[in-house]
Structure 1
Amino acid sequence: MSLSPLPSILLEPLVRAALLEDLGRAGDLTTDAIVPANQPAAMALVARQNGVVAGLNLAGMAFRLIDPAIEMTIERPDAAAVSAGEVIATVTGPARGLLTAERVALNFLCHLSGIATATSAVVEAVRGHKARIVCTRKTTPGLRAVEKYAVRAGGGSNHRFGLDDAVLIKDNHVAIAGGIRPAVERARASVGHLIKIEVEVDTLPQLEDALRLGVDAVLLDNMTLEELREAVRMVAGRAVTEASGRVTPVTAPGIAATGVDLISIGWLTHSAPILDIGLDTAALPGQCERQAGQEQETI
């Protein structure tokens, strides 16, 4: 699966807001006091553990917004697997800018790489089955687009991006509407012909009701494996089947084996641990030679 980069116009407000939050009212007091304004530096973004990379565009933008003279060279692009100790990218330029942007760049890169890594683990767990791993709307406020991008970087797919791109009738909608039928009928009468309708069901009788109404997809919530297998048999290709609830890399293979089309997982975006990535100082070209010469003179 090819991974299309997100447009800069979407990313810049996120990175700019994060930098402004960090810089506060007086800027980087520590770096400005210690590091000369004209001092160059080279640094490397290094994986501390195995994982999958995501978020390099945001990291690079953080450095460039602080100082346009900073350049990033990517060694392992987004969606690439990395091993502990492997260099993901190098950044060179004014040392002040590198140090000032460091935390914001790493916050984005570590968080999104963590999502990509967690997604990759579940995708690998269901390999050999048709089920695709999808995320949900359980995202960090303001970061939905980039977190869903990170899921794609890990080999997963995206569920709806918001309330406005599909109809998902959940249990509370059904309760307030007075049943699945009135909920579906009201939705169908209200939305355009290109909008798909999905209904969440907890039981097989509810599934029968949804199928009679010709919905496009059914969300099979917290069903047992036996119930999921029977649900897939009942649907028989008439609708997209989506399983959710208590999904981990351990439970995912069994769920996928029931024949469902999708497995949705909220924790991929709201609770995935970060991928530990550090920014290490590296030698600038010619610096090693200069240091060696100085050592010889000292001797």
Structure 2
Amino acid sequence: MPLPVLNSLLVEQAVRAALDEDFGRAGDITSQATIPAEARAKAVIAARKKPGALAGLELAKKAFELVDPSLCFEALAADGDRFSPGAIVARIEGSARGILSAERVALNFLGRMCGVATLTSHYAQAVAHTKAKICCTRKTTPGLRAFEKYAVRCGGGMNHRFGLDDAVLIKDNHIAVAGGVIPALRAAKGFAGHLVKIEIEVDTLDQLREVLAEGADVVLLDNMSPEQLRAAVAMIGGRMLAEASGGVALDSVKAIAESGVDLISVGALTHSAPVLDLGLDIEMS
């Protein structure tokens, strides 16, 4: 499946903000103090000790471009590619000061996004023998949602809502305030436009029966065991999409997928993904 295109305006905005944070008021005083202005260098960005899935090259490239537009950045792989330890994913050539000043911001974005993509790839591989698709959630790093969700796609996952305005998702607290499953669904149907999908969370099979009676586009089966999920899938009978959620882990996702659900949402993809270690190695030219 082709990857979405990252919004170039969002990329520049995010990278510029990160560089502003890093440069502070006086800029890279270490490079200014120790490296002649005319010095040039070549560098590579390479994976360290672990394999992974690549994501974030555009942000890394933008970091070098904004620091010094004369720098030459050559990508040797593409987002979505898998790589082995030691693999070189990009080369940079030009001003030594520029390369070193942009290094940390570029690697911060790459490491974070590759970490998300890599963890997602592990989940996707675990359920590849089933029809289930792995989805992310809104449990993202503030300010980085678009990039972390893009990284999920690079790892073989799918995106859930990007924000509160994407779709109606009725959770347990909405149900409690609205007075029950059916009142919440009826209110949502009366409010939502014809292009807005409605999903509702249920904790029990009794709640699911109410949803099936009233109708929805997607039902979120929250914190159910594989046995309960199988029963729920049988009850749904293909009338709406079935999404499993709640405490999903790598050691449990296979059994969840084998219950027959269509989607499995995993908050850990973005809120618990470890940063993948990539580094920049430089040589003087």
TM-score computed with the length of structure 1 as normaliser: 0.94
| One-letter amino acid of the counterpart of residue 219, structure 1 | L
| One-letter amino acid of the counterpart of residue 107, structure 2 | L
- 1:128 paired to 2:136: no
Which structure 1 segments of 5+ residues have no match? 285-299
Deviation at residue 5 of structure 1 after TM alignment: 2.7
Deviation at residue 282 of structure 1 after TM alignment: 3.6
Q: Is the 8 A contact 2:19 2:105 kept in 1?
A: yes
Aligned ranges 1:161-172 → 2 under 5 Å: 161-172=162-173
Deviation at residue 283 of structure 1 after TM alignment: 5.6
Partner of 2:144: 143
Partner of 1:266: 267
Aligned ranges 1:1-299 → 2 under 5 Å: 1-48=1-48, 49-282=50-283, 284=285
CA distance in 2 between counterparts of 1:211 and 1:71 reads 58
Q: Deviations over 1:106-162 (max 9, x none)?
A: 000000000000000000011110000000011111111110000000000000111
| Partner SS state of residue 41, structure 1 | strand
Q: Is the 8 A contact 2:45 2:89 kept in 1?
A: yes
| Partner SS state of residue 219, structure 2 | strand
| Partner SS state of residue 21, structure 2 | helix
Considering only CA atoms, is the larger Rg found in Structure 1 or Structure 2?
Answer: 1
CA distance in 1 between counterparts of 2:36 and 2:268 reads 44
Moved more, 2-11 or 164-173: 2-11
TM-score computed with the length of structure 2 as normaliser: 0.98
| One-letter amino acid of the counterpart of residue 173, structure 1 | H
Moved more, 193-202 or 246-255: 246-255
Deviation at residue 191 of structure 1 after TM alignment: 1.3
Q: Is the 8 A contact 2:112 2:276 kept in 1?
A: yes
CA distance in 2 between counterparts of 1:8 and 1:194 reads 27
Structure 1 segments of 4 or more deviating over 6 A? none
CA distance in 1 between counterparts of 2:133 and 2:176 reads 30
Deviation at residue 38 of structure 1 after TM alignment: 1.2
Partner of 1:287: none
Which structure 2 segments of 5+ residues have no match? none
CA distance in 2 between counterparts of 1:19 and 1:87 reads 24
CA distance in 1 between counterparts of 2:25 and 2:278 reads 28
CA distance in 1 between counterparts of 2:192 and 2:43 reads 52
CA distance in 2 between counterparts of 1:241 and 1:194 reads 19
CA distance in 2 between counterparts of 1:232 and 1:283 reads 61
Between the two proteins, the alignment pairs up a number of residues equal to 284
Deviation at residue 4 of structure 1 after TM alignment: 3.1
Q: Is the 8 A contact 2:11 2:59 kept in 1?
A: yes
CA distance in 1 between counterparts of 2:96 and 2:220 reads 51
CA distance in 2 between counterparts of 1:162 and 1:98 reads 35
CA distance in 2 between counterparts of 1:282 and 1:96 reads 13
| One-letter amino acid of the counterpart of residue 176, structure 2 | A
CA distance in 2 between counterparts of 1:4 and 1:211 reads 33
Q: Is the 8 A contact 2:40 2:284 kept in 1?
A: no
| Partner SS state of residue 94, structure 2 | strand
CA distance in 1 between counterparts of 2:84 and 2:283 reads 19
Deviation at residue 2 of structure 1 after TM alignment: 1.4
